[in-house]
Amino acid sequence: MSSPLADWSESPAWLAPIPTSDDREFWVGARNGELRIQRCGACGLHQHYARMLCSHCGADEIAFVVASGLGTIYSFTVIRKNGVPPFRERVPFVVASVQLDEPGARVLAAMPTTAIESVAIGARVRAQFRPVGDEFAFVDFALDSA
Ligand SMILES: [Zn+2]
């Protein structure tokens, strides 16, 4: 039996991102329907979340690129209990560690539009963007039907 999916379209103001100079590009990109991650000019690997230095080689030749939004579930968990609204009303839902197709980068994200029973390690997923206010958006993932 499949659990009904909660509506995640509205989030309280306190959940809105407060970007830093390092990660503002990520949040603004998401509002524009793009998954922007960092690529290192020295080693060529990618990273997420945004940082000043490359997490793979330590170089400071970091630049944002637009990722494909495609990836594979590396691992996941099902959140079944949470006492804090709005998550209290959203359970159960999946949080997945997604290995992006761009080498080096993983994203930890919710999968609010995907039934928990259909998620598996190795499944192909695609980024989705959920606006929060006028400037930013959250990045979620869903099973890739393409
Ligand atoms: Zn590097």
Distance (angstroms) between ligand 1 centre and the Cα of 62 equals 8
pLDDT of the residue at 76? 98
Q: How far, in Å, from the CA of 50 to the mean position of ligand 1? A: 13
**Residues flanking ion ligand 1, Cβ below 5 Å:** 40, 42-43, 54, 56-57, 59
| Distance from Cα 48 to the centre of ligand 1, integer Å | 12
Q: Is residue 78 within a helix (H) or strand (E), and if so which, with residue range?
A: strand 70-79
Distance (Å) from CA 65 to ligand 1 centroid = 14
What pLDDT, in 10s, does the model give residues 90-104?
Answer: 999 999 999 999 999
Q: How far apart are CA 22 and CA 10, in angstroms?
A: 26
Residue 97, token pair as written in the block: 């560690």
- Give the pLDDT confidence score for residue 107 in this predicted structure: 98
pLDDT tens-digit readout, 132-144: 999 999 999 999 9
What's the 79 CA to ligand 1 centre distance in angstroms?
Answer: 34
| pLDDT tens-place string over residues 12-33 | 989 999 999 999 999 999 999 9
Handedness of CA 74, 141, 33, 49 (dihedral sign): negative
The pLDDT score that the predictor gives to residue 139 is 98
**What's the pLDDT band for 2 if we cut at 50, 70, 90?**
low
60 CA distance to ligand 1 centroid (A)? 8
